[in-house]
Structure 1
Amino acid sequence: MEILSEYYSWIKVMHIIAFVSWMAMLFYLPRIFVYHSENRSNKSYTDIAKVQERKLYSFIGKPAMVLTLITGILMIAINPTLFKMGAWLHLKLLFVVFLLIYHFVCGYYLKRFKDDRCEKSGIFFRIFNEIPTLCLIVITICAVIKF
């Protein structure tokens, strides 16, 4: 890992860019779910929503999630003393796990919408859409304050 240490700053830049992209998908996909669930009777709309949902999840969300995880793991591998600097990294990683679960739950709802089998309401998805915001707040506090 010593050879990678000179690239640590670049890995961190990629981590931030990937995380921002991943969060964009986690914020926007449930918003599309809101509109999809509120317009189930409008087939022309739901056909468009299905394409948007699939592309957002598959072409932005998945690659951004993978790159976020790879760069995060690399940064920890380069600097394992991060684990000894307080509870912040442990808490941050816990909330990253919550985001991973949320990501795959979004994939579950994506499939349900694709098969016209999602019965959840727009109100449900409006509330569901707040979960990544709460995770982002905790992750940002951990990354900046490092308590």
Structure 2
Amino acid sequence: MGDFLASYYLWIKALHVIAVIAWMAGLFYLPRLFVYHVEQVERGSETDAMFQTMERRLLKAIINPAGVTTWVFGLGLVFTPGIVDWTALWPWTKAGSVIAMTVFHHWLALRRKDFLAGSNRITGRQYRMMNEVPTLLMMIIVISVIVKF
């Protein structure tokens, strides 16, 4: 398995980066949709149904597949011999941040279900603040991987 991963390392890395970009785009956009949904849409209206469709499609067609492929190719990189120095701090900060990003992803999925059930209790301001979470985690991940402290 290690030989296979080493032989295709650059392809795995490229596909991982592509998946990360798609995942991050969705994680940035969905909370922004929630802001507009909660602040400008009347529950039960045609616009409410349209927002719910947009949110569901973004989650199901982009965020979920991109999150899974990010993990698959990321684990491929982790298991490639000689790539990760587990005695350093950076792989642990990256791993913790990726797990936190995954928790945020699932939190967004639960908030979408709240809109569907008509039970959303989070304000537009709170969604705006939560919209900063993936940015902060992305900064930790990128600095961890590039600087390798």
Change (3 A) 1:65 1:92: same
Aligned counterpart in structure 1 of residue 122 of structure 2, from 115, 120, 123: 120
Alignment match, 1:33: 34
Aligned counterpart in structure 1 of residue 73 of structure 2, from 60, 71, 76: 71
Does the Cα contact within 8 Å between 1:99 and 1:132 map onto a contact in 2? yes
Alignment match, 2:21: 20
Matched AA of 1:121: T
Distance 2:46 2:39 in 1: 13
Does the Cα contact within 8 Å between 2:6 and 2:80 map onto a contact in 1? yes
Superposed CA offset, 1:25-59 (max 9, x none): 10000000000001242612211110010000000
Superposed CA offset, 1:45-83 (max 9, x none): 211110010000000001000000000111111126513
Name the Cα RMSD after superposition: 1.3
Structure 1: which 4+ aligned runs deviate by more than 4 Å? Answer: none
Matched AA of 1:61: I
Alignment match, 2:133: 131
How far residue 85 of structure 1 moved from its aligned partner, in angstroms, is: 5.3
Q: Could you say what secondary structure the match of 1:119 adopts?
A: coil
Alignment match, 2:10: 9
Distance 1:23 1:37 in 2: 22
Aligned residue pairs, count? 147
Distance 1:80 1:30 in 2: 38
Q: Could you say what secondary structure the match of 1:22 adopts?
A: helix
Does the Cα contact within 8 Å between 1:18 and 1:65 map onto a contact in 2? yes
Which TM-score applies when normalising by structure 2? 0.94
Alignment match, 1:97: 99
Alignment match, 2:55: 53
Which TM-score applies when normalising by structure 1? 0.95
How far residue 3 of structure 1 moved from its aligned partner, in angstroms, is: 2.0
Does the Cα contact within 8 Å between 1:39 and 1:46 map onto a contact in 2? no
Identity of aligned residues (%): 34
Give unmatched runs, 5+ long, in structure 1.
none
Distance 1:91 1:40 in 2: 39
How far residue 86 of structure 1 moved from its aligned partner, in angstroms, is: 1.3
